[in-house]
Structure 1
Amino acid sequence: MKKSLLICLLLQLPVLAHATAPASPKPAPARPAGVVSDAERYARRCQSQSGYRIVRPQGTMLWGTKRDWNTEKRTEERSSVLVSTDLAPLRWADDGVTALRLEGGHLVASPAPEAGATTSGVVGTVLQGTASDGKPVEVAICGAEPSAEDPGMVFYRIEAWNAVAQEWENPCVAVDRVPDPRALAVSGVWDASGARKDVPGKLTFACQNGAITKCILWGYKPWASRDGQSLADFHQACTRLVRADYCGDGRSHTRQNTTIDIYDRLGMLEQAAVASAEWDPARASFEAAWAPDGATCLARTRDDRALETILQECPNRFQKGAAVELGKGERCTVRRADVSPGAALLRNLSYGASNGPASQDKSL
Structure 2
Amino acid sequence: MTGVLMDPQTSGTGGAVRIHSIQAEGTRFTVNYCPMSSDCIDTATQVLQLREENLHLLRLRVSLPADDGGPERAATFEVTVTPRLGASTRVRGYDVRYREVTGPWRPHCDLKGVIASDRDATSFLPRLRINSVNAAVESVPTWTTIGCGSGAIVTCLDWGYVPWNPDTGVYDPLRSHLFGSCLQAKRAAYFVGRGDLKSYTRNGTRINKRDQFGLGRNANGQVEELRTLEALWSPQGAVCLNPENRRVPDIALPTGMRGVPPCARPPRWTPTGKLATGTFTPAPD
Q: TM-score, normalised by structure 1?
A: 0.51
Identical aligned residues as a percent? 21
Maintained 8 Å contact 2:56/2:81: no
Deviation at 1:341, TM superposition (A): 4.0
Greater helix share, structure number: 2
Find the aligned partners of 1:240 and 1:114 in 2 and give their Cα distance.
36
Moved more, 181-190 or 194-203: 194-203
1:312-331 matched pairs, under 5 angstroms: 315=258, 318-320=259-261, 324-325=263-264, 329-330=266-267
Give the counterpart of 1:237 among 158, 181, 200.
181
1:140-159 matched pairs, under 5 angstroms: 140-145=79-84, 150=89, 154-159=92-97
Task: Look up the match of 2:220.
Answer: 270
Find the aligned partners of 1:128 and 1:233 in 2 and give their Cα distance.
37
Deviation at 1:178, TM superposition (A): 7.3
Give the counterpart of 2:99 among 137, 142, 161.
161
Per-residue CA shift, 1:37-78, capped at 9, x if unaligned?
xxxxx99xxxxxxxxxxxxxxxxxxxxxxxxxxxxxxxxxxx
Cα distance change of structure 1 residues 347 and 226 upon mapping to structure 2, 3 Å threshold: farther
Maintained 8 Å contact 2:241/2:260: no
**What secondary structure is seen at the aligned counterpart in 2 of 1:297?**
strand
Q: Is 1:303 aligned to 2:225, yes or no?
A: no
Find the aligned partners of 1:348 and 1:128 in 2 and give their Cα distance.
45
Any stretches of 5+ residues in structure 2 without a counterpart?
6-14, 34-46, 65-74
Runs of 4+ in 1 over 6 A off after TM superposition: 226-229
Per-residue CA shift, 1:262-320, capped at 9, x if unaligned?
110111313899xxxxxxx89x5110000112111101133224544473xxx4xx255
**What secondary structure is seen at the aligned counterpart in 2 of 1:214?**
helix
Maintained 8 Å contact 1:287/1:299: yes
1:1-364 matched pairs, under 5 angstroms: 95-111=17-33, 112-113=47-48, 119=54, 123-126=58-61, 140-145=79-84, 150=89, 154-161=92-99, 166-174=103-111, 179-187=118-126, 188-191=128-131, 192-225=133-166, 230-248=174-192, 250-268=197-215, 269-270=219-220, 285-300=228-243, 301-304=246-249, 305-309=251-255, 311=257, 315=258, 318-320=259-261, 324-325=263-264, 329-330=266-267, 341-350=270-279
Cα distance change of structure 1 residues 173 and 109 upon mapping to structure 2, 3 Å threshold: closer
Any stretches of 5+ residues in structure 1 without a counterpart?
1-41, 44-92, 130-135, 274-280, 332-339, 360-364
**What secondary structure is seen at the aligned counterpart in 1 of 2:177?**
helix
Find the aligned partners of 2:95 and 2:141 in 1 and give their Cα distance.
23
Deviation at 1:149, TM superposition (A): 5.5
Cα distance change of structure 1 residues 197 and 271 upon mapping to structure 2, 3 Å threshold: closer
**What secondary structure is seen at the aligned counterpart in 2 of 1:96?**
strand
Find the aligned partners of 2:98 and 2:167 in 1 and give their Cα distance.
35
Maintained 8 Å contact 1:156/1:183: yes
AA aligned to 2:59 is G
Q: TM-score, normalised by structure 2?
A: 0.63
Find the aligned partners of 1:215 and 1:342 in 2 and give their Cα distance.
21
Deviation at 1:255, TM superposition (A): 2.5
Maintained 8 Å contact 1:97/1:121: no
AA aligned to 1:181 is D
**What secondary structure is seen at the aligned counterpart in 1 of 2:206?**
strand
Maintained 8 Å contact 1:286/1:350: yes
Find the aligned partners of 2:118 and 2:100 in 1 and give their Cα distance.
19
Deviation at 1:126, TM superposition (A): 4.1
